Amino acid sequence: MSLTFSLIQTNLFWEDKQANLDMLETKILSIQEQTQVVVLPEMFTTGFSMQPHLFAEIMEGESVQWMKKVAAQKRIILTGSLMIEEGGKYFNRLIWMLPNGQFGYYDKRHCFAFGGEDKHYTAGKEKKIAQVNGWKINLQICYDLRFPVWARQSNADELFDVLLYVANWPTRRSYAWKSLLVARAIENQCYVVAVNRVGNDGNDIEHSGDSMVISPLGEIMYHKQIDEDIFTITLQKNALEEIRNKFPFWKDADEFILK
């Protein structure tokens, strides 16, 4: 059993939704390989902006409709996060859009207080595990990476298979990004798929990309620094199961409940 991801590492137009949607649509439609899940960076319509009062959309808005259209046209699952307004609150929300127009979503749990995100956005409260073709995928956003308990396998009977991160992670902390991604793969005995942006944003913060795919043993299967890139990779479920059967470390994990 396999699952194919396409990672889009790209620069973003600062707070310019239409330019980003046009650019990303061109990139997505250019993918020649057969793929099942296309992954965009965090806040792919704007960059990591603290102005949701100006740029947030509702779930019925243009960007979610765009995701629905592109997912249907390309026959893919399309995922990435954007600003969403709901009930008078703003969320950094990852949308998991299916080709039939159905979708799920995950609201970023850990708002980046160092950058003021906690003052503008409401933190999510629930883990979200997407399921496709027998795979379980734990959806995460950027700063969530620093909090291993939030990502940790918590039910030995329902292990997830992939940790997926979308990010706007700055170059100045790229060592932490790369190190923690490897750690999350090893400690959870799962694949990690992580997409980060490149280029400078409107605050002149540089992003080096460093998008990665990592095996359950912590081996780097893909890593791209600095340049824009579109990369497609197929992950194998039997390889994951062989590792877990050979090294059943997950059985010895501590039990815990998140509150």
pLDDT digits (tens, 9 = 90+) for 146-166: 999 999 998 766 899 999 999
Phi-psi map region of 238: left, alpha, beta (phi>0 left; psi -120 to 50 alpha): alpha
Would you say residue 31 has pLDDT above 90? yes
From the candidates 17, 42, 111, 178, give the one annotated as an active-site residue.
Answer: 42
Who contacts 208 (Cβ-Cβ below 8 Å, separation ≥6)?
A: 171, 174, 196, 198, 225, 226
Mean pLDDT of the chain: 96
Residue 252 pLDDT: 87
Residue 71 in 3-state DSSP?
A: helix
From the candidates 17, 111, 142, 190, give the one annotated as an active-site residue.
Answer: 142
Residue 142 pLDDT: 98
42 is catalytic: yes
Residue 20 pLDDT: 98
* pLDDT per position as a tens digit, 129-151: 999 999 999 999 999 999 999 99
* pLDDT per position as a tens digit, 85-131: 999 999 999 999 999 999 999 999 999 999 999 999 999 999 999 99
142 is catalytic: yes
Would you say residue 168 has pLDDT above 80? yes
Residue 185 pLDDT: 98
Assigned architecture for domain 2-252: 4-Layer Sandwich (3.60)
Q: What is the CA radius of gyration of the chain?
A: 17
The tokens for 176 are 């932490």
Pick the range with the lowest mean pLDDT from 45-54, 157-166, 220-229.
157-166
Count the Cβ atoms, other than its own, within 10 Å of residue 220: 13
Residue 258 pLDDT: 80
From the candidates 17, 57, 68, 108, give the one annotated as an active-site residue.
Answer: 108
Mean pLDDT of 204-230: 98
* pLDDT per position as a tens digit, 54-82: 999 999 999 999 999 999 999 999 999 99
255 is catalytic: no
Would you say residue 181 has pLDDT above 90? yes
Would you say residue 259 has pLDDT above 80? no
CA-nearest of 117, 220, 234 to 168 is 117
Who contacts 12 (Cβ-Cβ below 8 Å, separation ≥6)?
A: 20, 41, 43, 44, 46, 47, 197, 199, 201
